[in-house]
């Protein structure tokens, strides 16, 4: 009985040595970068569609019927909500090579601290098309949305050097 208690105490204390990051890194959505192309429009009826791309290389489509969890006002979405969004995708519309994903993930990460241009009102009733990516924050088990480019009723762009290259690459994904 003494050995059983000792084993239990030892296992319990060792489990505390595992970092949350180590556990999460084995999960299916521990991707450091997830790309997103998203169109939303509330004029003349609701429309929400687009795609997500994680390091699997699969471009996963979502449509307005998908139950969606949007990023909060600071741009964060929890890891579990990101999993829900991935699960809400209804099909794989394309495949991206691992080398392209790696190259453009690196470029995207260079845009994390890019300043945004001043928002400009450019259209009416056009909604918004956003090219963005999410970076994983393991300390808070959430993702942070980084907008690269937004066009529609309001237009704005990330002014980081690599932003335009990443957006142009994302526009080729169909």
Is 165 a member of any domain?
A: yes
CA distance 46 to 31: 30
In a domain, 20, yes or no: no
Q: Model confidence over 130-172: pLDDT tens digits?
A: 999 999 999 999 999 999 999 999 999 999 999 999 999 999 9
Report yes or no on 110 lying in a domain.
yes
pLDDT cut 70: percent of the chain above it: 82
- Higher-confidence position of 173 and 31: 173
Displacement of CA 136 from its chain's centroid (Å): 8
| 114 within some domain | yes
Place of tokens 């556990």: 23
Domain that holds residue 104: 31-171
Instruction: For residues 9 and 13, give the distance between their C-alpha atoms in angstroms, rounded to a whole number.
Output: 6
pLDDT at 14: 37
Is 13 among the domain residues?
no
Judge whether 22 lies within some domain.
no
Indicate if the pLDDT at residue 62 is higher than 80: yes
pLDDT at residue 21 greater than cutoff 70: no
- Look at the chain and report how many structural domains it folds into: 1
66 in a structural domain = yes
- Domain presence at residue 147: yes
């Amino acid at each position: 009985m003494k050995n059983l208690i000792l084993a239990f105490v030892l296992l319990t204390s060792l489990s505390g040595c595992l970092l949350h990051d180590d556990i999460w890194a084995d999960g299916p959505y521990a991707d450091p970068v997830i790309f997103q192309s998203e169109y939303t429009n509330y004029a003349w009826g609701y429309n929400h569609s687009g795609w997500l791309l994680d390091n699997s290389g699969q471009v996963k489509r979502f449509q307005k019927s998908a139950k969606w969890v949007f990023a909060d006002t600071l741009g964060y979405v929890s890891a579990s909500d990101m999993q829900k969004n991935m699960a809400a995708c209804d099909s794989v519309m394309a495949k991206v090579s691992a080398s392209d994903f790696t190259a453009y993930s690196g470029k995207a990460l260079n845009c994390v601290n890019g300043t945004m241009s001043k928002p400009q009102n450019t259209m009416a009733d056009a909604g918004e098309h956003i090219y963005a990516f999410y970076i994983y924050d393991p300390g808070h088990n959430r993702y942070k949305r980084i907008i690269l480019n937004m066009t529609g009723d309001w237009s704005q762009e990330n002014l980081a050097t690599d932003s335009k290259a990443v957006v142009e690459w994302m526009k080729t994904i169909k």
